[in-house]
Structure 1
């Protein structure tokens, strides 16, 4: 009986150790993917695309150019100093680890190392920004319809 328990304990420790190694290997693969993707630049590009919302806020608040710059700098400082980028990266590693197999991560790394992959990465921040602008323009053009849909709700909660 003791031998059986000892054997199970050894098997569990080997399985856990192997899983931890695999997990560390996969995390390293994903880190390589993030480096090839220029993840930091992609995140910064996404943030810059979000600044279109600040432009809209500035217009709604009727801010002058200096005030708009101040508001933009508040958002930039918040992003730079208050957002925990290391925590975000750890969570993104886990997200990618859950979404992709090791083989798929290898294929993504290979793709992003190609000229087409690099062009995609180069163009992504600008495309994201322009895509966000298109979305905001469309939403703005349909504000009247939204207000019509919201009006009955807003009246019911008064």
Structure 2
């Protein structure tokens, strides 16, 4: 019994630095999250990605009042997401999985500089503008893509039809007997 206790105690002592390292890394990841993801940033990011859809809805002829109501509902949803404690927990875990403690500290140092602060402020807009630019460029290639997809699907359907065993024809008398 003493042997088992000593083995367990030795294991716990050996693991103690890992627990301390994880706690330290979690504290640094939390600091980065607090720096990068205040509620307004989360809402702004969400709304920046939501805005192209609002523009599409408006172009479809939806009245401005309805578009404004949808936009307001989107902002309310973004606020709920931003305030959800589960988001904080998940984001901190993502930071910890993605970066070492030293890298987290480097990011914190950067985001505390004037350039880092500006980057945090401008990133949602940059992502939204990038998405719009990507959509515009995709439109150039969409017809060719759609043609290729259609050709692939037609070929696959033909191959499937050729591979399927031929179904015997049902004589019309038999069809009448079944009530068809």
TM-score, reference length from structure 2: 0.70
Mapped partners of 1:111, 1:151: distance in 2: 48
What is aligned with 2:6?
Answer: 7
Aligned residues of 2:43 and 2:75 also touching (Cα < 8 A): no
Distance 1:135 1:144, change over 3 A: same
Structure 2: runs of 5+ lacking an equivalent: 158-180
Distance apart, 1:32 and its partner CA:
0.9
Q: Which structure has the larger Rg over C-alpha atoms?
A: 2
1:83-102 alignment runs, 5 A limit = 85-102=84-101
Alignment map for 1:1-158 (pairs within 5 Å): 2-59=1-58, 61-81=60-80, 85-152=84-151
Please give the alpha-carbon distance, in whole angstroms, between the structure 2 residues aligned to 1:46 and 1:73: 15
- 1:47, distance to aligned residue in structure 2 (A): 0.6
Name the structure, 1 or 2, with higher relative contact order (CA <8 Å, separation 6+).
Answer: 1
RMSD, aligned α-carbons = 2.7
Task: Work out whether residues 52 and 132 of structure 2, in 8 Å CA contact, stay in contact via their aligned partners in 1.
Answer: no
Structure 1, unpaired ranges of 5+: none
137-146 vs 27-36, which moves further: 137-146
